[in-house]
Amino acid sequence: MSESSLRLFRLVQNQVHVGKPLPFGVRDENGKLLLARGHVVSDDDQLAALIERGAYVDLEELRQLKNATPPEKVATRKLTLFDAWEQIIWRLDRLLRSPTESAFSERSDELARACVALVRRDPDIGIYLARRQDARRLSLYGLTHALHTALTCQLMAQRMSWDEAKLLTLVKAALTMNMTIFELQGQLAVQGRRPDDVQQARLRAHPQAAHDALVAAGVTDPAWLEAVLQHHERVGGSGYPLGAEPGELGCALRCADVFMAKISPRTDRPPIPIQEAERQLFADTGASAMAAALIKEFGIYPPGDFVQLKSGELAMVVRRGATVNTPMVAAITDRKGMPIVGTNIRDTAKPEFAVAGPSPDQKLVLRVPPERLFGLPE
């Protein structure tokens, strides 16, 4: 059944139970999937964000649930870091939808600190999620792009030994840089077409619009405001909206923003291969130290990439290794190409499991839960 033919029913709060798997898929008003069936809503904030956004259920799915196990009898499971990342998406959604509520600056700071702490708990899971974006949830692209850009900014800043205050400012700028267009970004990612003239005008104006929205929300930090205003400016003055020379934070934010846009999928195109995106970024920035730091953090084979091993196995990268070309991987097929169920971790620094190259099949679909790949409870 196509999304356009779905009959949607507005979700109400008592249909979802915090800490328990969803018995149905949760969709937006256009039928686009927001949360898949079985996903665990991790806390009251995430549930409130869904209800506030406007969440719907397919009526046919509801009918099929008549003989299903009641939600109160569905066993709870321990939440993982993947659930924590999902929670952050909805916290950002609530933040960007409430700039006129009190203490926006403080709430932004709290969310940024939570993001930084989550990345530091396991940066490889963050990179994995940035690489393995769910094509069924492109309507959330404006939110996930901001989070993945914030992740990239943090890794880049840490590599360059920036102090904590400067790093946090950059992360806050990444989270809010597109606050006036994050819904439009999701629409365009789903539609898979070039923006029309009106949309293009909004995109060109959004750095200034986001800056002004932050000022109206009570943000007074000049470094944060400047980074948001300048994140589409270019060295030499050929960027927008002012055609001005960007400062250090503006350059860093643009670097991470452009890189993440290149490696993210759209309806009309797959993501650019990581090695090509890194090559383009390095050339575009004039071999800048920021681009070099970003590339060193992601490596040649970052978590989330399919690779072919010399053993004949197909594998998913799950951890960065001691060098950029020796990651830790989880085999997902045996030597004959047959899928495997268990988690077989391979150290590609060992000659027999060395990476032969990226997988030539760009249409591979991963059916193994990421928790299993990372050795976490499912």
**Mind listing the pLDDT tens digit for each residue in 202-219?**
999 999 999 999 999 999
**Mind listing the pLDDT tens digit for each residue in 278-290?**
999 999 999 999 9
The answer to whether 251 and 121 are in contact (CB under 8 A) is: no
**Taking Cα atoms as reference points, which of 119, 112, 259, 85 lies closest to residue 173?**
112
Regarding predicted confidence, which is higher, 336 or 47?
A: 336
Task: Out of 213-222, 268-277, 284-293, 338-347, give the one with best mean pLDDT.
Answer: 213-222
Q: Torsions phi, psi of 328, nearest 5?
A: -90, 135
Domains and CATH numbers, the chain: 3-75 (no CATH), 83-298 (1.10.3210.10), 306-373 (no CATH)
What local confidence, expressed as pLDDT, does residue 216 receive? 98
| Mean pLDDT across 354-377 | 78
**Taking Cα atoms as reference points, which of 123, 133, 150 lies closest to residue 320?**
123
